Every structure is written in C-alpha cells, then in structure tokens.
Structure 1
Amino acid sequence: MTETYTGPTSPEDIEDEVELESARLEREADAILAEGEARAFGPRPIHEAVREDALAAREWSRARAERLRRAVEDEPIKATLYALGLGVVIGMLIAR
C-alpha cells in the first residue's frame, strides 16, 4: 500500500516526451504529403501520367469484377433477379 510513483517529476518532462513523438509524426506526415504532391503536381510526361491512370483504372476494374463474380457465386438467384429486373427497365426505356 505504500507504493511510490516514480514517473516524470515535472510537467516539462511529460511535454517533452509527447512533443518528441508528435514532432516525429508530423515530420513523417510532411514527408508523405511532399512525396504525394511531387507525384501529383511534379513535371512528368503526359504519356507517363496516362499510363499510370490506365493502370489504376485497370486495377480498379479488376477488383470490381472479382467482387461482382464473388457476389454472383455466393447468391446466384439474387443476381439473376437483379439482372432480369434491370433488363426489363432498360427494355421499357428503349421501347419508349
């Protein structure tokens, strides 16, 4: 029952520990932001930018296709009914 607290003895000690960690995190965040800005706004050839955007679009579409494929495999009846309903709606719009 007579334990003594042996932590920091003054408020300055506590602030220094927190300040060091926050300063490190702030430096890391600044480095990440600077790298992102350099990639986004830095001078680079247009064909390189288009190629990177095409790769990003391709990866996005592959992920979406895989997600759709899993959804159809998990619930084929539900997917069939959605497709049928969408076909009916499109058919009604085209018939107008």
Structure 2
Amino acid sequence: MLCHGDLALDTARRRVSKGDRPLDLAPKEFGVLELLLAAKGRVVSAEELLERVWDESADPFTNAVKITVSRLRTKLGDPPIIETVAKHGYRI
C-alpha cells in the first residue's frame, strides 16, 4: 500500500482511492501514480516514466507522459498532488 495524504494506492489489488472515493484509473495512469508514490518525493523524469510504465518500444519523443499526467491530475482533483519540476520531471 502506497499513501500520500488521503490518497491510497493498493498495489496488490490495483485499486486507488482518494478519501472514501474510489478512482477509476487506466493502466498507464495507475503505473505513473504508483511510480511517483514509490519515489517518495524524488523527482521522476519523463524518460524514467516511459522506461518503467510503457514498453521498450515507446517513442522517447512522444508526449504520452504529459497527456497521462494531465489526465491523472484531473482524476485526482484539487489540491494538486503531482508537481511538475521544470526540465526535470514530476514528483508527489
């Protein structure tokens, strides 16, 4: 189980909840959130997210990470949980 505030990610059951509200995440969204929570505040680069959440054939110049993080932010709601660290990546 990975937690941050009222956000809980159950790695075994592959479920996410914020407060008492379950969140329906796509597989890539779940993977990004899991990796960011596991990083415990460390900045995770878009390249690392591509390597670890997508497969090895993912295009390194794609904006898939940016789109997935944007969708994830919308689903997580306010206050924002995922921070963009300019030119470095993302962190929680």
Q: TM-score higher than 0.5 here? A: no
Name the structure where strand makes up a greater proportion of residues.
2
Q: Indicate the structure whose relative CO is greater, using CA pairs within 8 Å and at least 6 residues apart.
A: 2
For the pair shown, which has the larger CA radius of gyration, 1 or 2?
Answer: 1
TM range (shorter): under 0.3
Q: Could you state the TM-score of these two structures normalised by the residue count of structure 2? A: 0.23
